[in-house]
Chains A and B, each alone.
Chain A
Amino acid sequence: AQTVTQSQPEMSVQEAETVTLSCTYDTSESNYYLFWYKQPPSRQMILVIRQEAYKQQNATENRFSVNFQKAAKSFSLKISDSQLGDTAMYFCAFRLWGGSRLTFGEGTQLTVNP
């Protein structure tokens, strides 16, 4: 079975600064997908970024980027130029290639301070 661990229950950052959220996972498979989802106070889960395990290049979406280290089974999320609207719960998730089910981490509550 796959497991996903987010070791930082809470983090805070000043507006305009950079913050990195950590995620590690455990699997014996070599092909899979990794995702970061954001859940703001409105509760709507929103996809932030995704990474295919077979791609060596780290995914980037505007201010959001990942550091994917397959050998270390690590998938961290970097948020640059943090904005107040980035305040949310962030979840890391794993899905096997060929599967439909997502396995989620515990979540990290990020607060961006003005």
Chain B
Amino acid sequence: DVKVTQSSRYLVKRTGEKVFLECVQDMDHENMFWYRQDPGLGLRLIYFSYDVKMKEKGDIPEGYSVSREKKERFSLILESASTNQTSMYLCASSIPGPYSNQPQHFGDGTRLSIL
């Protein structure tokens, strides 16, 4: 089974801090994704990566950056955390080949609170 592991289940940080959310997958997937989940809004894509050091902006990239130095690891960075970034963050991965019907596999999420 695919395993996507997010480093923290709950995280509390202060306004202005630099925050790192880590995600690791164990299935050699090329694609990795970061989503934000808010009530009534569903999941919204922040960034995704289709290869090491490659990234593409999603629908809501403002205030975030990402890093993918190794294939299995994809980090989401909040450069200067703000209270409106309090949310649930979900990481996902998928196999290469955009023509495949294979789904994305998700981690358990990190519930981040910015005080």
Chain B neighbourhood of A37, CB < 8 A: 103, 106
The tally of residues in B whose CB lies under 8 Å from a CB in A reads 24
| Number of CB contacts from chain A to chain B under 8 A | 50
Mark B residues whose CB is within 8 Å of A: 31, 33, 35, 40-45, 48, 50, 58, 88, 90, 92, 94, 98-99, 101, 103-104, 106, 108-109
Q: Report the contact-size class of chain A (Cβ under 8 Å from the partner).
A: 20 to 34
Contacts known (A43-B108, A45-B106); A33 close to B43, Cβ less than 8 A: no
Label chain A's interface by main secondary structure: loop
Q: Could you tell me if A9 and B98 are in contact, using CB atoms closer than 8 angstroms?
A: no
Q: Could you tell me if A100 and B31 are in contact, using CB atoms closer than 8 angstroms?
A: yes
Mark A residues whose CB is within 8 Å of B: 4, 6, 9, 33, 35, 37, 42-45, 47, 50, 52, 91, 97-102, 104-107
